[in-house]
Amino acid sequence: MSASELNIQHEELPPLLAEGLDLRWQTLLERCDEEQALWYRDFAQSSARAHLLTVLAGSPIFLDYCQRYPSLLPALQQRGELDAELSAGQFRAALAADCAACENRDQLAACLRRFRHRHWLRIVWRDLSRLASMQQTVAELSALADACVQEALAFLHRELCEEWGEPHSHDGVPQQLLVIAMGKLGAGELNLSSDIDLVFSYPEAGETVGGPRSVDNQQFFIRLGQRLIKALDARTADGFVFRVDMRLRPYGQSGPLVVSFDALEEYYQDQGRDWERYALIKARCIAGDMASGEVLMKTLRPFVYRRYLDFSAIDSLRDMKAMIQREVARRNLNDNIKLGAGGIREIEFIAQCFQLIRGGQEDALQQRPLQVILNELRDMELLPAPVVQELQEAYVFLRNTEHAIQAWRDEQTQQLPDSAFPQAGLAHSMGFDSWADFHTVLKQHRERVSEHFANVIAAPEDEANTDHSALAHWETLLDQPEQDALRDELQNVGFSDAEELARRLVALLESSAVKRMEGTARERLDDFLPRLLEQAQDAEDGGRAVIRLIPLIESVLRRTAYLVLLMENPAALQRLVTLCDASPWVSRQLASHPALLDELLDGHNLFNVPDKEGLRSELRQRLLRIAQDDLESQMDALRYFRLAHVLKVAASEIGGTLPLMKVSDYLTYIAEVVLEAVLDIAWQNMVEKHGSPAVDDPRRHFVILGYGKMGGIELGYGSDLDLVFLHDVPGGAVTDGERPLDGNIFFTRLGQRIIHILTALTRLGSLYEVDMRLRPSGNSGLLVSSFTAFAEYQNAQAWTWEHQALVRARVVAGDAVLAANFDALRAEVLGRERDPDALREDVLNMRDKMRKHLLPGGGEKNREFDVKQGLGGIVDIEFMVQYAVLAWSHQHPPLHTYTDNIRILESLQQEGLISEADARALIEAYIAFRSQSHRASLQEQKGQLSGEVLVEERAAVRRIWTQIFGEQSA
């Protein structure tokens, strides 16, 4: 064909790329038969012309493949595959049909290579012409590799079984090779000219059956693995399929080509290194015994993903990055878009760093594709949304650049070209008019990636400002510690209780647990303690803080990654010292649940608690990442959520960002959100087993009532939950599932399931202690009452003290219709007219019994005042409020609107039942008492105060008590 026939216009291609293209096109036509030549001529003048010129300009090897295999491109176009996206199933089916005609390994090799070349042409065509997104390109390349491995393995397994017999376990179970893809293939992110990193394994030891002689299973699978590698990797007259890299197998190149599952598991458990954890993040079973392979991958998961926060991964990633940087410098790879600064590898490091640190706690981070992980990091607010957007944009640009580089000559390289011709081709493929324009945008992306990488894989914060001489001094004192010398130095720098602190530090360092520590773990402890002592010098009472922190240190001696977390984040260490100095309750919580140290990393989130809707949304997102049938993980997620947010409330109270009235509100919101989720989980579990109660409307017909502090929106840090369960399904109703239950039994089991989820002890403890004694008839009554029975009990059998309890009762979770019915019943019961004298006597008798039972001696023992039960304390205010509601609601309905004492007191004043001054006095006293109660909880103290404290408040309460109940009651 002449140049005039191709007729490249000036505006179609840059001159440098157009030059010589007509001659190479002519060569292609000369190698075609008449029909093929006609097709190429027509194709060059069709609507596909622009795409054709773009691809020819960006990939000289594309034209070379067309010259070698002139039938491939016409066949693709005629079958409608050239522009189409193909699924993994289509690749497998097409290759299986091609391989069906193969009779030996040589024919298989030729078939695989033709298949690879045909689809490589198609994928390059779609990629360079931008008919496919980057994600589609890598997905199709990965599906192509999967299909080639799968069909080759299936063919070779059959062939070898004919020669040697079929491998069986000692129990007679047939065995297959398992092929595990690592790296980019494992993640489904293969590039145009990538190696495929594979690991081979098989389930069990045994020997072959049915062959001329029996051979060991390992011998069989080693031979099978060798044939598979040769089928894919060997260069023949038709080229190769994929280069195969087996260096990621146990012991690398010196290890056996194939090992059993047990040997693989034992290797990773005993000898696995950090870089192998990193590699296994992307591991995926792609061929062979897939069902057994998935079981194997689950057994390896704990090696990859620790159940605790593992900040030690950062050090490993730093070491790997430093090694790569040395290699980049040695081989002058600065223009390598994968390994150079700001390259693809750095984006992968950022994502995989978070996966290794947090993947054990967040199942969503155990996925393989990089962009999926970046989205999860954004949704979890572990990376800011603008950072994720920049990383994703850079990743797409860099991967497209990588493909354009590799499409040039089908070579395994990520190196930017250094001569004008390929530079022009790369720029044009990327949509730029010149190399300079392309390089400017590339540089901007790489600079952003490099900046974000430095922020994640950086040296610990403020390391440059660390006083290393002071640290060295503490290191010397703590190495082979001598208690008197350590005590003297602790005193010199101002630590309180230096004697006890020195004794505790020496006891820690000489304990058997510390002496058993080896290598990295002991080094981490030795690095951490000096930093802790340096940080504690700035605390209000550093000695007290460190003493409180020693149980936490002891609890993480076998999980020293938590110490790395604190060394990596000095600001988190400072927050830890401050909180533990302020509260032994906080230090005990952290010692019991070191996973909560994660919450110290972000100071803004730690000291700013979300509102109820924010809590609800966060918990919903956590639970959505867990399979609905995984109750254990759901319970762990609920417990961590509750622990983390209660810690945030405590931190906010200590830090002064949350006033007392809001502390109880938020503790109650946390419990309400948890109860809603627990009800959802329990309901789903029951419905899956038994179906829904068969009634006309689809609502749940079930509510959870909160009494006491829960009902009064006044929970404290250690409060249990006073709960009552109600349902309103008609008698005789049954569920509509395959295993139907009577409605009453269904709701009883639902209640039992709720209590189990709340109280079961897991590695994170229980959610809440639950008290069900306020249900009708107490512990002897039904666990779940029907609404009708509950109403009858309240109207005919309930004691006065039960109506007092009803004042603080409200629906905290469940069905809206039943909730409205309960509210109406509560208003009716509380609004009933009562005999004032009988009511007064009942209330006073109950108060007297309570005081005698809970506060023997009247509460003035040792001149101390019990904040809750003492004369003029919290319970006295609560009894006055409850009496007022029961005595006066029939004339003043607003009194029974609210369940919390503060708003009821305000209603009493608004209704003119007590004076504004008395209402204010009771409210201020109540707030003061509760403030003392919260403070006592954080200090792990009983609610006992000096008799000289809050004298005016107590006097005001007793004065108003006398006004309401009379002189005799005082």
Label the pairing between strands 206-210 and 165-169: antiparallel
Q: What is the 3-state secondary structure (H, E, C) of 587-654?
A: HHHHHHCHHHHHHHCCHHHHCCCCCHHHHHHHHHHHHHCCCCCCHHHHHHHHHHHHHHHHHHHHHHHH
Mean pLDDT value across the chain: 91
Judged on CB neighbours under 10 Å (0-12, 13-18, 19+), 775 is buried
| HEC secondary structure over 85-141 | CCCHHHHHHHHHHHHCCCCCHHHHHHHHHHHHHHHHHHHHHHHHCCCCCHHHHHHHH
**Could you give the angle at the alpha carbon of 104 between the alpha carbons of 103 and 110, nearest 5°?**
100
**Rounded to whole angstroms, what are the CA distances from 266 to 105, 199, 296, 299, 859?**
35, 15, 12, 11, 63
In sequence order, the 6+-apart residues with CB closer than 8 A to the CB of 854 are: 869
More confident residue, 944 or 105: 105
The 10s digit of each residue's pLDDT in 582-603 is: 999 999 999 999 989 989 888 8
724 φψ region: left (φ > 0), alpha (ψ -120 to 50), beta (else): beta
Confidence of residue 861 (pLDDT cuts 50, 70, 90): low
Q: How far is CA 502 from the centre of its chain?
A: 39
How far apart CA 25 and CA 30 sit, in angstroms, is 9
CB neighbour list of residue 375: distance below 8 Å, 6 or more residues apart: 388
Do the beta carbons of residue 377 and residue 383 sit within 8 Å?
A: yes
Predicted pLDDT of residue 465: 53
The band of 856, judged by pLDDT with boundaries at 50, 70 and 90, is low
Pairing of strands 770-771, 178-181: unpaired
Q: Tell me how far apart the alpha carbons of residues 69 and 59 are, in angstroms, rounded to a whole number.
A: 16
Confidence of residue 680 (pLDDT cuts 50, 70, 90): very high
Position 509 pLDDT exceeds 80 = yes
In sequence order, the 6+-apart residues with CB closer than 8 A to the CB of 418 are 335
pLDDT of residue 212: 86
Lowest mean pLDDT among 102-106, 352-356, 549-553, 755-759: 352-356
Secondary structure of residue 949 in the 3-state scheme? coil
Euclidean distance between CA atoms 593 and 640, whole angstroms: 9
Could you tell me the pLDDT band of residue 767, with boundaries at 50, 70 and 90?
A: very high
Angle (CA) 595 598 602, round 5°: 165
Is residue 572 within 8 Å of 597, Cβ to Cβ? yes
Question: Confidence band (pLDDT; 50, 70, 90) for 464?
Answer: very low
Question: Considering the entire predicted model, what is its pTM?
Answer: 0.77
Q: 464-468, 745-749, 901-905 — which is least confidently predicted?
A: 464-468
Each residue of 124-168: pLDDT tens digit?
Answer: 999 999 999 999 999 999 999 999 999 999 999 999 999 999 999
Residue entry with tokens 């008919």: 131
DSSP assignment of 666-732 equals HHHHHHHHHHHHHHHHHHHHHHHHH--B--SS-S--EEEEEEHHHHTT---TT--EEEEEEE-PPTT
Q: What are the φ and ψ backbone dihedral angles of 182, each rounded to 5 degrees?
A: -110, 180
Q: What angle do CA 415, 11, 71 make, to 5 degrees?
A: 65
With a cut of 50, say whether residue 4 has pLDDT above it.
Answer: no
- Would you state the pLDDT for residue 2? 42
| Separation CA 955–CA 67 (nearest Å) | 103
Share of the chain above pLDDT 90, in %: 70
pLDDT digit string, tens, across residues 254-267: 899 999 999 999 99
Q: Are 620 and 581 in contact (CB under 8 A)?
A: no
**Residue 194 tokens, joined:** 């990538």
Give which of 800, 702, 785, 693 is closest to 737, Cα–Cα.
Answer: 693
CA–CA separation, 244 vs 39, rounded Å?
Answer: 36
Mean local confidence (pLDDT), 392-409: 97
